[in-house]
Amino acid sequence: MDSRQIRNKFLEFFESKGHKIVPSAPLVLKNDPTLLFTNSGMVQFKDNFLGNATPKYKRVADTQKCLRVSGKHNDLEDVGLDTYHHTMFEMLGNWSFGDYFKKDAIAWAWELLTDVYKLPKERLYVTVFGGDKKDNLPVDEEAIQLWKQHVHADRILHGVKKDNFWEMGESGPCGPCSEIHIDLRTDEEIKKKPGKELVNNDHPQVVEIWNLVFIQFNRLASGALEPLPDKHVDTGMGFERLCMAIQGKTSNYDTDVFRPLMDFIALHADHYAYGSDTKKDIAVRVMADHIRAVAFAIADGQLPSNTGAGYVIRRILRRAVRYGFSYLNIKEPFMHRLVPLLALQLKEVFPELHQQLEYVGKVVHEEEKSFLRTLDDGIFSFNQNFLRVVRKNLIRYFNERKIVFQQSNGQETFPDFFLPDHRVELELNSRFDEFEIRKNFKVVDDVKIKCLSVNPFLFLKEEFFADEDVKFVFPSQLQFEKEIDGHTAFVLYDTHGFPIDLTQLMAREIGFTVDMSSFNQHLEEQKLRSKADAAKETGDWITVAEGEKPEFIGYDSFTSTSKILRYRKVKQKNKELFQLVLDKTPFYAESGGQVGDTGRLQIGSEQIDVIDTKKENDLIVHWVEKLPTNLEGPVTATIDIAKRKLSMSNHSATHLLHAALRHVLGKHVEQKGSLVNDKILRFDFSHFAAMTAEEIAKVEALVNEKIRENIQLDEQRNVPIEKAKSLGAMALFGEKYGDFVRVITFDPKYSVELCGGTHVPFTGSIGMLKVISESSVAAGVRRIEAVTAAGAQEYFNQSLALLLEVKSLLKNPKDVATSLQNLLEEKHLLEKKLETMNAERAHQIKDQLAGKAQKTNGITVINQQVTVPSAESLKNIAYALRNQFDDLVMVLAANIDGKPNVTVMLGEKVEAMKKFHAGNMVKELAKEIDGGGGGQPFYATAGGKNLGGLERVIEKAKGMISAN
RNA sequence: GGGGGAUUAGCUCAGCUGGCUAGAGCGCUUCCAUGGCAUGGAAGAGGUCAUCGGUUCGAAUCCGAUAUUCUCCA
């Protein structure tokens, strides 16, 4: 049976048992603050368990794309190392929402596995919940009795809470579960050790294949359990493992789910056969697994990025690239070539990938390129660090032996190919191949070597090649610690994104080790730092009034009289906030790119500001800073109408823009993201090149034309999804739609979209749209930002006002740009001129001062009051005089723009005599001008407040100089 | 959302705890040498040290904010 048949049999089986087969929900979640990705089959039914929604069907089955990158049984870093963990996997599941319970769930599971899939009964084990004292829960006797009708009692094992009590999270629906395990070992092995001892023991061939969860409790934040009114069944069977069991393989990766991908990788990347090299095999598995996760996440609308879910995707892709880079020697983007193969393989089950093949491939390709660049930077940085160590030790070595290098003109030097700043050379030598230095050096002293080329890496092999005819063998006496310290490794990791195991690998290649304990310590510190403020506590919902799921009435009105259904406390960054749920509300919750409404609640005479409105699955949650004192009373809820109207204008404009882009650029334009608030609209869409100015102008013109046509909004609610699609409505990938949708139409021939947002009644009220920027977000994705209505007006007014101001400042020239350019050039010239003039002036002052110099006791003394244009020129004067007299002792009491300054400068010889110390002198002299200062032994400055003290400075200096 | 780094000449980067008048390589300009070169030599141009503010006698260097960008964590 191939994997396709296995999947179909599952769905057919449950269809025959009265289940509705539903499509997989997107991998990426939008309205769930507790989860980044769909990590199990039940996620899309969460609201059914929580009681926030009434289930549409009582019996449902599907295969669900899931992504797990962290958790108790799976860590991204483990995937590929073993043969049974995955990032993305399919979970087959059947559900009962308040319908059948343990009896049917158990019977059908057994029937499917043994009758349909014909798995050997003697290899199957089942586990049941064995009770838990802390929760005061008994053994699940009911399940045991039911299982006994199918399997012998000694194959029914008791499990602990960790394995056999399933919980969604810290709180929420939960219940005991029953797992089915299979023993896939050989007969000999089974004889040696019975399978029941290996169940739930992380044995790669004694694995859980199906988990039947019986949801019957709700766990409160306090930890207590309360029974649920409706009992549910939630089952999950790992598709890849099931295939392994049915196809008689010992690894998930050996099934036809992965093998085609892996053979392709092995062949094209490294021309080797999978299975012949343990390390390479790991890399191949990692790549085959990760491309699935990455490709489907992108197809579901999640671009790799540096935050949130996007960052997880980026990390997964990078891990795959890194493995290919290190073990399969793949230095060019490769992963993107797997996308077509994968898309074809899963075309029937998950058509979303195949439909966006080109787009996903491009995104992956671009992301690979950027990571390879980062790797390159990291390698460069690594080499620099390494060369620093080498250089330091080489200098020490040469110094100890008094070996001196000379350039051909006789000047002493140190060969700069040892300096770690030769990027060009290092690029040629991107790893450790030999490279040439085009410079001649002679080593003089007792050894004379003319050095033409050198490879600093070879020295580690204790050889040092110089010219062809002279060989300098690097002595083994040169030894130093061959360890990369933890800080360096951490900086590589944290700042350059350089994976630690790659650092270790590279270190090993040159005979170094990495101080891992120090590295880990740095890592821990960083984690603590960034975790410190992210803490958040959420309390239990407290019910005020019973009521149906909250109703959104904001499409039709901006205000309502409501009552509070429930509330809870949320602690975030030491700030206490409250969340309120109303029975009906005009507040639009953030969704579809449109931000949540703000506004106010009026309860009696009390007013409470609503700072944000968010969705939690289907719940509309109002965020407020304090609770009303009267929770039961009627609440008048009113949104901030001005803000909402601007958002509406921007949202409708987004639809017009979307349609215009498809007209101007082509049908490949798909929405990839959008943000709509009261200030701006931002629209991301798939398109493979930057838009030209003409294209932008065309799009703008078309949108504005549609605005002027003043098209009436046609809003239809509760349209069956199939009908909506037949109307040509644009549906988005990665968006989960119900059976009934809302359709927003501005002219059926122009723009028809599925949308839950709020819109203007006539396009005319948008007023005007102005694109203010067009940029790139990722490969194949462009971003347009635009303003409308009052925002557009303000934008124009501001731009125009600025231009007018600039123009008038320039005395209204014909061509502002040229005029400004000329002005800048002129300014630059004048600056240069001023600089030279200052230099000339300084030169004159210098000459004057030099003329007044007095030779006494073998030193040249200059002790004068001067007036100079700037501190800079004073410095120049001082240095010029130092260059002129090596026996100089100079004190200048200067007036710089009305500020007193004392400068002391000594000549080279005087400095060497150490009789004078400029720094000490200036400190003493500065007292006369009520100031302070310092500097170096030969040059020091001081500033002060008392201009009148300059004369006394000269007097004091006279005394200081003659005293020596 | 939070943490860390980076921003210095056209390019790639040095510049350690503030003070030896902002440096290197490549590139560019001019000149000299060579039959030729990824040649050798000499001279030279090119910098608001991202922006704004602060501390200081003195800031590329320290502090704060902003912008751009890389990166790590949740």
Q: Which nucleotide across the nucleic acid strands is nearest to A494, CA versus C1'?
A: B72
Q: Which nucleotide across the nucleic acid strands is nearest to A310, CA versus C1'?
A: B74
> How far, in Å, CA of A191 to CA of A213, rounded?
32
- If residue A311 lies in a helix (H) or strand (E), which one and from where to where? helix A308-327
Q: Which nucleotide across the nucleic acid strands is nearest to A901, CA versus C1'?
A: B57
Q: Which residue bears the tokens 């800079």?
A: A872
Q: How many angstroms separate the CA of A265 from the C1' of B3?
A: 37
pLDDT reported for residue A473:
33
Closest residue to B56 (CA to C1') is A933
Helix (H, G, I), strand (E, B) or coil at A467: coil
Q: How many angstroms separate the CA of A243 from the C1' of B72?
A: 37
- If residue A456 lies in a helix (H) or strand (E), which one and from where to where? none
Low-confidence ranges of chain A (pLDDT < 70): 31, 33, 70-74, 383-482, 509-511, 530-537, 548, 572-575, 733-734, 779, 821, 824, 964
- If residue A303 lies in a helix (H) or strand (E), which one and from where to where? none
- How many CB atoms within 10 Å of residue A432? 15
pLDDT reported for residue A447:
29
Q: Which nucleotide across the nucleic acid strands is nearest to A532, CA versus C1'?
A: B2
Helix (H, G, I), strand (E, B) or coil at A530: helix
* Farthest-apart Cα atoms in chain A, separation: 118
Closest residue to B71 (CA to C1') is A495
Strands of A712-791 (E only): list them.
Answer: 713-720, 740-746, 751-754, 769-778, 781-788
> How far, in Å, CA of A799 to CA of A822, rounded?
22
> How far, in Å, CA of A249 to CA of A418, rounded?
55
In this structure, are strands A575-582 and A619-624 parallel, antiparallel, or unpaired? antiparallel
Give the phi and the psi of residue A952 in degrees, each rounded to 5.
Answer: -65, -30
Helix (H, G, I), strand (E, B) or coil at A694: helix
**How far lies A384's CA from each of A329, A425, A430, in Å?**
22, 12, 12
Question: Which pTM was predicted?
Answer: 0.75
> How far, in Å, CA of A30 to CA of A592, rounded?
9
> How far, in Å, CA of A791 to CA of A328, rounded?
54
Q: Specify burial of residue A154 (Cβ count, 10 A radius: 0-12, 13-18, 19+).
A: exposed
Q: How many angstroms separate the CA of A827 from the C1' of B30?
A: 27
- Per DSSP, what are the bridge partners of residue A542? A567
How does DSSP classify residue A12?
H
Long-range contacts at A852-857 (CB < 8 A, ≥ 24 apart): A853/A885, A856/A962
Q: How many angstroms separate the CA of A476 from the C1' of B15?
A: 33
> How far, in Å, CA of A296 to CA of A832, rounded?
60
> How far, in Å, CA of A701 to CA of A722, rounded?
33
Give Rg (Cα) of chain A.
38
Closest residue to B57 (CA to C1') is A942
> How far, in Å, CA of A721 to CA of A730, rounded?
11
Distance from chain centroid for Cα A78: 21
**How far lies A317's CA from each of A297, A364, A633, A817, in Å?**
11, 8, 53, 46
Q: Which nucleotide across the nucleic acid strands is nearest to A945, CA versus C1'?
A: B57
Closest residue to B1 (CA to C1') is A534
Q: Which nucleotide across the nucleic acid strands is nearest to A903, CA versus C1'?
A: B57
Q: Which nucleotide across the nucleic acid strands is nearest to A828, CA versus C1'?
A: B48
Closest residue to B20 (CA to C1') is A936
Q: How many angstroms separate the CA of A671 from the C1' of B53?
A: 42
Closest residue to B19 (CA to C1') is A935
- How many CB atoms within 10 Å of residue A612? 17
Q: How many angstroms separate the CA of A423 from the C1' of B27?
A: 14
Q: Which nucleotide across the nucleic acid strands is nearest to A409, CA versus C1'?
A: B41
pLDDT reported for residue A342:
95
pLDDT tens by residue, A384-419: 666 666 656 665 665 665 555 444 444 444 444 443
* Contact indicator for A99, A59 with CB cutoff of 8 Å: yes
> How far, in Å, CA of A324 to CA of A283, rounded?
6
pLDDT reported for residue A400:
62
Q: How many angstroms separate the CA of A383 from the C1' of B30?
A: 38
Q: How many angstroms separate the CA of A455 from the C1' of B42?
A: 30
Q: How many angstroms separate the CA of A694 from the C1' of B9?
A: 36
How does DSSP classify residue A388?
H
Kindly give, in sequence order, each residue whose CB lies less than 8 Å from that of residue A447, ignoring residues fewer than 6 positions away: A403, A472
* Contact indicator for A86, A289 with CB cutoff of 8 Å: yes
Q: How many angstroms separate the CA of A436 from the C1' of B35?
A: 26
pLDDT reported for residue A419:
35
* Contact indicator for A140, A127 with CB cutoff of 8 Å: no
Q: How many angstroms separate the CA of A572 from the C1' of B1?
A: 11
Tokens of A743: 């359709």
> How far, in Å, CA of A252 to CA of A285, rounded?
10
**How far lies A145's CA from each of A103, A121, A150, A744, in Å?**
10, 18, 10, 55
Check: complex ipTM more than 0.90: no
> How far, in Å, CA of A295 to CA of A282, rounded?
20
- Closest CA relative to residue A423, chosen from A377, A466, A388, A460: A377
Strands of A419-563 (E only): list them.
Answer: 441-444, 449-451, 464-465, 471-472, 483-484, 513-514, 536-538, 542-543, 551-552, 559-562
Nucleotides, chain B, CB distance < 7 Å: 1-5, 12-14, 19-21, 23-26, 38-42, 46-47, 56-58, 70-74
Q: Which nucleotide across the nucleic acid strands is nearest to A872, CA versus C1'?
A: B21
Kindly give, in sequence order, each residue whose CB lies less than 8 Å from that of residue A610, ignoring residues fewer than 6 positions away: A587, A597, A598, A599, A600, A601, A622, A623, A624, A637, A639
Q: How many angstroms separate the CA of A663 from the C1' of B42?
A: 64
Q: How many angstroms separate the CA of A365 from the C1' of B24?
A: 36
User: Half-sphere exposure of residue A500, counting CA atoms within 13 Å on the CB side?
Assistant: 18
User: Half-sphere exposure of residue A487, counting CA atoms within 13 Å on the CB side?
Assistant: 1
pLDDT reported for residue A545:
83
Q: Which residue bears the tokens 């990032």?
A: A87
Q: Which amino acid is at A904?
A: V
A11-33 CB burial, b ≥16 within 10 A, e <16: bebbeebebeebebbbbbbbeee
> How far, in Å, CA of A841 to CA of A327, rounded?
67
Alpha-helical regions (H) of A335-483: 339-345, 351-355, 357-400, 423-428
